[in-house]
Amino acid sequence: MPLITKRRTFGASSPAIHIPAAAGGAWTPASLGAALRFWVKADTGVTTSSGEVTAVADQSGNGFNLVSSGAAFEPPSLGTGYNGHATFNFVSLDQEYLTTNRTTAQAFNLGSQSSWFMAGTMDAGGGSLPSNAHALAYLGATSLAGSGTANYDQADSVGAIIRNTTLSQLCMLNPARAFGAAGTVALDTPMRVLMVFDNTNATLYVNNTQIAQSTATFTLGSSGVIALGAAIGGTSGTLTRIGAHWYGKMAEVLVTNTALNSTERGQLDAYAAARLA
């Protein structure tokens, strides 16, 4: 697969933290209003069984709750995985993942613009990881209907934040199966990752610093499924894991159906940096 990117190595340092005030109090993702389509936190609305995550309540108000696909694939809930805060702990070799629905595409209305945020880590994992491990993925309704093909083979789907074949890189994988916006990051290090699609470019930010950008023009399906921790496909109207499993931790995840502007990016990063310090 071709790699089209501008990149630079990103260290562990972060910009100064300042949370802008919003009407009625400090800024939170809820301040994004209708643009906020999906929002989960590892310390809020989480249901566990024997220490493993079985369900997570969507905090956006849209009801796009996460569910597991069975005990064999439930990620552990780790109490101190991100600066002492709770995380979903995805272990690639155990093939753990969560999805917003198992049988029905839901109306995320992402279209030609969307933003994907993850506060988490990309772990080293001992060097035996899938080359294109998915942290956040979107599968359009065509695959869920039963084609059996993965999100990275579909015109209305995307690997929004994944690990490149170079294990210390984050990037996206577009429907043409081409990597884009690939940038090197520090492994085993808490970071705030944002991938923005504006119908012209995919732009990767880490701790509110742009580290990569590449051309990316595509339209996601208005209805689909969001997955955390794996590439996914559909068989006979039910989701199935395709592989490319993540190895790392996630403390907070959100998705918008807009390309966040510079002000919104700063507000989001400052909020997460303060909450998860």
pLDDT tens digits, 200-233: 999 999 999 999 999 999 899 889 999 999 888 8
Phi-psi region of 168 (alpha: psi -120 to 50; beta: other; left: phi over 0): alpha
pLDDT tens digits, 64-110: 999 998 787 889 999 999 999 999 999 866 678 999 987 888 999 99
Report the candidate in 67, 68, 71, 49 with the shortest Cα–Cα distance to residue 57. 67
CB-based contact 204:195 (threshold 8 Å): yes
Lowest average pLDDT, out of 8-22, 101-115, 120-134, 212-226, goes to 8-22
Record the pTM: 0.88
Predicted confidence band of residue 165 (pLDDT cuts 50, 70, 90): confident
The strand pairing partners of 234, in sequence order, are: 239
- DSSP code string of 103-154: S--EE---TT-EEEEEEEEE--GGG---TT-EEEEEEEHHIIIII--BGGG-
Q: Which domain, by its residues, includes 58?
A: 35-205+214-275
For residue 198, being part of any structural domain is answered with yes
For residue 1, being part of any structural domain is answered with no
Q: What is the pLDDT of residue 235?
A: 67
Please give the span between the terminal C-alpha atoms of the chain, in angstroms, as a whole number: 37
For residue 143, being part of any structural domain is answered with yes
CB-based contact 82:249 (threshold 8 Å): yes
For residue 78, the domain's CATH number is 2.60.120.200
For residue 249, being part of any structural domain is answered with yes
Number of domains in the chain: 1
Q: What is the pLDDT of residue 12?
A: 41
Report the candidate in 215, 179, 176 with the shortest Cα–Cα distance to residue 197. 215
Structure tokens at 133: 């491990």
For residue 145, being part of any structural domain is answered with yes
For residue 15, being part of any structural domain is answered with no
Distances (CA, A) of 51 to 66, 71, 248: 16, 11, 17
Residues sharing a CB contact under 8 Å with residue 211, sequence separation 6 or more, in sequence order: 7, 8, 10, 183, 184, 185, 204, 205
